[in-house]
Amino acid sequence: MRPNSFIKKLVVFGTVGILVAPCYVYQKFQAAERFEIHFDGMSIPISIKELIDWSNGKEGTKSELASWLNLLGFKDRKGLTKFLNTPLVRDKSMARQILRSWSGRRLLDEVSDLILMDEDSTGESVLDTLENLLIEKDEVTTFDLLNSLSVRAIHIDVDGWIEVANNWRSELKKQQKLVSDLALVDEISGKRDERDLLPFEIKETEYELIPLIVSHRNDPLNVEVWNPSFREKNRKNWVLLMTGLGGDRNHFNWLARSLSHNGWPVVVLDHPGSDSKALEALLKGRLSLPGAEVIPDRMNDIDSVLQAKKLGKIDISSESVVLMGHSLGALTAILASGAKIDDQLGDRCQRVLDNLSLTNLSSLLQCQIADINLADRKIMENLSAIVGMNSFGSFLWEDNSDNQIEVPLFLTGGTFDLVTPSISEQLGLMLALSSSPLSRVLLIEGASHFSPIRVDGRMHQSEGKDLFNLGESIVGYHPLSVQSLLAFEIINFLEKLEEKKALSAKTNMNKGELKFHILDRNRIEKLVKFQ
């Protein structure tokens, strides 16, 4: 038997069992004449009539299918039936908006290569059927969808599904391996460095909310301006801070307050159309899922703030700017700096999307950029550095790209991030994009993509309730401690930046229960070689 052959047959049998369940309960299945299951170079046509005969207990059937099904037993048919009748879509308004989004359609396209309806490789028949069901029903089950598809044959590519599963497993193993590899990067591995971090909450500084009239938006652009209450340190830089997709200004008050308390003026941006109000509109079925199409407006927001500062509408004495952002805000900062995407993005994304890997959800946003016309930008004047929390963009640039950024990058990430995994995103992005010897990556073990988002709860303890009510399984380990560490190390980086010195690179540092690493290019290259 060939490797994985037994696994493939189990997948085949499991798939057949799932498809049999509706026949067991419902005596009619007129949506399709047959299923065709493809694996190991074989194609097995399964007629609906045979499935019905088997499900009705007609043991006289002598077909190969009946023999296989009788061998398997399928004792838990009720469980399969319950699964198929569980709502696939509960909120039809939100589901329709997701299906109409670029990301939703792209995922459907890729799934359609593995579950093919007749010869339709675009997923149009599935989309049309699902949208029609959403008009008729408040909830749609898997059975509803299968029973309504007006096709002759449903083709199931088991080999393709196994390849997808293997890709997922491989990506997850890389992330798990990263933590163990960190101990091998330094000759002085295992050394511990205790650090005093910032308190969880600093309350001395307040902000001024300023509405800016901008030409690219219908409503004023609201910005928070955090000016230090004392200006003794006379900082050379000020910080422009941007939120991620679905983020709001108040999610990062903890960071703006810490920075201004240490002498840096900070401006925090809201991005209408991709903030929490946009996600609320999605949930209510009023707007489609926002994606990379919001980037041009976000970059215009940055330009508007820089122009307002230049004209004196924003009172900040420092001249040079540090662009800082979380997730999509970090990518926007990189693109706004003048970094140009190379012309091979489309080819790279085709390979990425063909893998259908959900271990790096940011790949969908990155690949959507190939369909967006981003105007060429000049290198930003007075740009001192870029700080990206849970940044991404590794697919946009090849390694050792000619479009590398000369200003220092400080990228932060966590080993528990499945949205922008550090091994491919922060580490890969640093190698592809940064040419500055001052650039560093801060990697925090146990931190997730959502760890930097402000939490509600006990401000003087390491636990708290996360703002989105996502739970520790998604937010990650001790978000308040992670935020304190982030503020401390970002401030360290900014202090060194003003002195034009590099932040010390060390691995296996501890603070309380957190373990973290500050990596330079040399250490990152060693880590990547281990993969």
Percent of the chain's residues with pLDDT above 90:
29
Q: Which residues contact 79 (CB under 8 A, 6 or more apart)?
A: none
Kindly state the tokens that stand for 167: 């890709």
Helices 253-261 + 479-499 axis angle, to 10: 40
Kindly state the tokens that stand for 501: 């010195």
pTM exceeding the 0.95 threshold for the entire prediction: no
Kindly state the tokens that stand for 416: 């528990």
Percent of the chain's residues with pLDDT above 70:
61
Helices 345-354 + 102-112 axis angle, to 10: 60
- Domain ranges in the chain? 5-161, 186-530
Whether 28 has a pLDDT exceeding 70, the answer reads: no
| Torsions phi, psi for 459 (to 5 deg) | -70, -20
Whether 499 has a pLDDT exceeding 50, the answer reads: yes
Whether 491 has a pLDDT exceeding 90, the answer reads: yes
Task: Please state, as a whole number, how many other Cβ atoms lie within 10 Å of the Cβ of residue 76.
Answer: 12
Whether 10 has a pLDDT exceeding 60, the answer reads: no
How far is residue 526 from each of residues 187, 435, 439, measured CA to CA in Å? Answer: 12, 17, 16
At 77-110, the pLDDT tens digits run 444 445 455 666 555 555 655 566 666 666 666 6
Whether 322 has a pLDDT exceeding 60, the answer reads: yes
Whether 31 has a pLDDT exceeding 90, the answer reads: no
Whether 460 has a pLDDT exceeding 70, the answer reads: no
Q: How confident is the model at residue 382 (pLDDT cuts 50, 70, 90)?
A: very high
Q: How confident is the model over 243-254, as a mean pLDDT?
A: 87
SS3 string, 184-242, reads: HHCCCCCCCCCCCCCCCCCCCCCCEEEEECCCCCCCCEEEEEECCCCCCCCCCEEEEEE
How far is residue 133 from each of residues 89, 99, 108, 143, 187, measured CA to CA in Å? Answer: 10, 13, 17, 11, 61
Kindly state the tokens that stand for 133: 């069901």
User: What residues are paired with 455 via a beta bridge?
Assistant: 466
Residue with tokens 């009172």: 315
Q: How confident is the model over 510-529, as a mean pLDDT?
A: 88
Number of residues written out for the chain: 531
Per-residue model confidence (pLDDT) at position 29: 39
Whether 459 has a pLDDT exceeding 50, the answer reads: no
Per-residue model confidence (pLDDT) at position 168: 67
**Which long-range CB contacts under 8 A does 7-13 form with residues at least 24 apart?**
7/162, 8/39, 8/40, 8/158, 8/159, 8/162, 9/39, 11/39, 11/158, 11/161, 11/162, 12/37, 12/39, 12/44, 12/158, 13/68, 13/72
Q: Which residues contact 196 (CB under 8 A, 6 or more apart)?
A: none
Whether 14 has a pLDDT exceeding 80, the answer reads: no
Q: What 3-state DSSP class applies to 178?
A: helix
Amino acid, res. 130:
L
What CATH number labels 186-530?
3.40.50.1820
Q: How confident is the model over 270-299, as a mean pLDDT?
A: 74
Whether 20 has a pLDDT exceeding 60, the answer reads: no
Lowest mean pLDDT among 117-126, 197-206, 472-481: 197-206
Per-residue model confidence (pLDDT) at position 325: 96
Whether 70 has a pLDDT exceeding 70, the answer reads: no
Q: How confident is the model at residue 437 (pLDDT cuts 50, 70, 90)?
A: very high
- Considering only CA atoms, which of 117, 112, 158 is closest in space to residue 12? 158
CA distance 70 to 87: 29
